Homo-oligomer: A and B are copies of this chain.
Amino acid sequence: MTSLSNAGAEAPATTSRPTMKQVAALAGVGIKTVSRVINGEPNVSAATIARVTDAARALDYQPDLHAGNLRRADGRSRTLGLLVGSVSNPFSGAVHRAVEEAAIERGVAVFASSLDDDPSREEQSVSAFLRRRVDGLILTTISPSQGYLAAEIRRGTPVVFVDREPSGVTADTVVSDNAAGAALAVRHMLAHGHRRIAYLGDRGDIQTARERRRGFLEELGRAGVATSSVPVIENLHDEAVTFDALLGLLSSEDPPTAVFSAQNLVTIGAIRALRARDLHHSVALVGFDDVPLADLLEPGVTVVAQNPQRIGQLAAERVFARLDGDDTPGARHIVPTRLIVRGSGEINAIG
């Protein structure tokens, strides 16, 4: 259907992209000379440089990076693979942005993909990255083991895990101080007189979520609160499910006086539920991870904020350091969280 077209017209016909050979022919030089000019190698006469540059411009020539890579000594594709949790979460957006900023500075392009809580997409994306010969990987994971990466890591490909720690392999990991952040939230609510604090958590199969729960429960334990009396609801991974779960909890015979929501979207679902029962001014709420416009709500939402920019930046730094020869053992890099007080967490326990 493409081919019948406009017979005899000026032929917009799909010409293919120009190659060095064509540039060389037009400039009347050898192809290696074109290569030299394009790559700024020395020992080319000024006149030749001009001829080649003109020819390249005339043909709108763009060198084929991959073909070059095939032969080039360092074998670097100047490409990175980034897998984030979910594009719908602002946390991921911020990480992406930070990684890209660092990458662009080095002339590295970023393949970005998102997991969307689908374990099969993890391995699939990584494989896609690897077949495209990325120089390094920055990964948020969800599948139970990252053992499938062992050989690749052994071969020297830098892999940095963000937001979640890997299992089955050792590598650089950049995470928020999840347990400590959760503990911070708990202390804050305890200080406001709460003893019956509900835990609303993300999927239990996410290691990060388990860390937050651990921090939460341990801090309650340290304060002498019997954890058996603490409502713990997990596997909440969106607003709607959280909404329903918290409504149920609030209707129970011994409802909590405070709520700790251990994730972004869970926090939003919790806010909606508290509003639906008109309890947003009487039940305290502290969320983990910041929420957009949290300060404009009534009351403002108190959160333990993460620092996604720093996480992305640090991850990129680690990848590039290893590409530059750093071969220290993989380590955990912990990015601190901080409590942002806005109102919802400072509601005192009644009685």
Give the CA-CA distance A129 to B64 in the complex, in Å.
Answer: 10
- Is A109 interfacial (CB-CB < 8 Å)? yes
Q: A272-B296, A291-B293, A292-B293 are in contact. Are A12 and B154 (CB under 8 A)?
A: yes
Which single residue of chain B is at the shortest CB-CB distance from A77?
Answer: B66
Contacts of A291 in B (CB 8 A): 293
* Closest-CB distance, A132 to chain B (whole angstroms): 5
- Looking at the complex, which one of B133, B271, B275 makes contact with A65 (CB distance below 8 Å)? B133
Is residue A33 contacting chain B, with contact meaning CB distance below 8 A? Answer: no
Taking the full assembly, how many copies of this chain does it contain? 2
Q: Which of A92-100, A161-169, A188-196 contacts B (4 or more CB under 8 A)?
A: A92-100
Interface residues of A in 105-143 (CB under 8 A from B): 107, 109-114, 121, 127-133
With A110-B111, A297-B297 already in contact, the answer to whether A66 and B132 are too (CB < 8 A) is yes
Cross-interface CB contact of A111 among B90, B109, B131, B154, cutoff 8 Å: B109
Q: A14-B155, A64-B133, A113-B110 are in contact. Are A87 and B79 (CB under 8 A)?
A: no
A5 to B77, alpha carbons, bound, how many Å? 26
Q: Which residue of B lies closest to A327 (CB)?
A: B2
**Residues in A1-40 with C-beta less than 8 Å from chain B:** 1-2, 5, 12, 14-17
Decide yes or no: A16 and B293 within 8 Å by CB, A67-B70, A109-B132 being known contacts.
Answer: no
Q: Which B residues are in CB contact (< 8 Å) with A5? A: 327
9 A-B residue pairs with CB within 8 Å: A62-B131, A66-B67, A67-B70, A88-B97, A96-B112, A104-B113, A109-B129, A110-B112, A293-B297
